[in-house]
Amino acid sequence: MLPVAVTEETFRHNGIISAQDAQELPVAKLREIFGADAALYLDVRQYGSVYAVLKSETKVTLTARLVDLRTGDQLWSGEATASSAETQSTSGNPLGMLISALIDQIVDSLSDRSMQIAEIANGGLLHGPRSPRYGADGQP
């Protein structure tokens, strides 16, 4: 696995400047550029905060697929979602819920919780056959 900055610079040197260009790159070209056996494609489906009268929620949903760069075959795929609502609790008191929502909205507007929630979502993806945690999640 390469650091994001190195990967981005390598793409840039090869004339690929957008994420969409990178996603559409033929697998043979990816193998040529990076010398890798496989590539992990991540697709962020939802990222951000949603505000309602009595609550706010930061939610991240992503899908992932692992592709063999020699054949183009998909080796694995998965999807994960994480939400700040999973860790929030309310007392049932409408005023307390309103105050809690107001505090959440202020915190969300001052600091983007989406990165933190994205990390949780990423942890929800299944582990591949080379991972020491493969099979621990009950999936083949």
Q: What pLDDT, in 10s, does the model give residues 47-92? A: 777 766 666 777 778 888 889 999 999 998 888 777 766 555 555 5
Decide if 135 is inside a domain: no
pLDDT for residue 97 is more than 60: no
Q: What are phi and psi of 68, to 5 degrees?
A: -70, 120
Terminal Cα-to-Cα distance of the chain (whole angstroms): 23
Asked if residue 134 belongs to a domain, the reply is no
Higher-scoring residue by pLDDT: 66, 131: 66
Looking at this protein, which amino acid is placed at residue 17? Answer: I
pLDDT of residue 86: 57
Please check whether residue 37 lies inside any domain of the structure: no
In-domain check, residue 110: yes
**Domain count within the chain:** 1
Q: Are 60 and 114 in contact (CB under 8 A)?
A: yes
Closest C-alpha among 138, 140, 108, 137 to residue 123: 137
- Residue 16 domain-assigned? no
pLDDT of 4 reads 81
Asked whether residue 68 is assigned to any structural domain, the reply reads: no
The parent domain of residue 91 ranges over 44-62+80-128
Q: How far apart, in whole angstroms, are the C-alpha atoms of residue 86 and residue 57?
A: 9
As a whole number of angstroms, the distance between CA 117 and CA 47 comes to 9
- Judge contact between 82 and 124, C-beta under 8 A: yes
Is the pTM higher than 0.85? The answer reads no
pLDDT at 54: 64
Within-domain flag for 101: yes
| Residue 102 counted as domain residue | yes
